[in-house]
Amino acid sequence: MKDTDMEQTVRSVIRRMTASSVMNLAFARNLIREVEKKAQEMGVKAVVAVSDAAGRPVAIECMDGAYIGSFDVALNKTFTSVAFQMSTAELGKLAAPGGSLYGIQNTNDGKIVIFGGGEPLYVDGVLIGAIGVSGGTAEQDTALGAYGKNIAKEVISWK
């Protein structure tokens, strides 16, 4: 193996180790808290979930008055975003009738969500997990999920 190949491999491993250490309970709770503040400003009673890169839940919170059904939807949005490494809104476009992934929501024991509110979370190009928001309209959930994705880097720096 060439020195440059070895160096790239080492850098890749270090980047993944660093990124994976970011996803912890404190980060998830802080991110959820910020998204809940935004939801409150918008008048949305949301359920906000954060999962790790394997789609396992790290934290999930239900705002007072949130729909009971939003719990599973928010959690499944995180799973979907991790499983396909894209937002649920983006997947929804591909899953529309005539789309290349039409019917995908019927796979994975029904855990695939094809409307907005789920966003993958990356650090230095490495997937660390996802955020899922449910409780508002599809547009509100999409906006709140995108907000969470966009502020994740800021929240990471709070350590």
Look at the chain and report how many structural domains it folds into.
1
Task: Enter the pTM of the model.
Answer: 0.88
**Domain containing 32 — which CATH number?**
3.30.450.150
Q: Give the span between the Cα atoms of 36 and 90, in whole angstroms.
A: 23
DSSP 135: S
Dihedral of alpha carbons 107, 111, 117, 118, sign = negative
User: Range of 9's domain?
Assistant: 3-156
Average pLDDT over residues 34-61: 97
Token representation of residue 21: 């250490």
In the prediction, which pLDDT does 146 show?
98
Q: Picking from 3-7, 77-81, 139-143, which range would have the lowest pLDDT averaged per residue?
A: 3-7
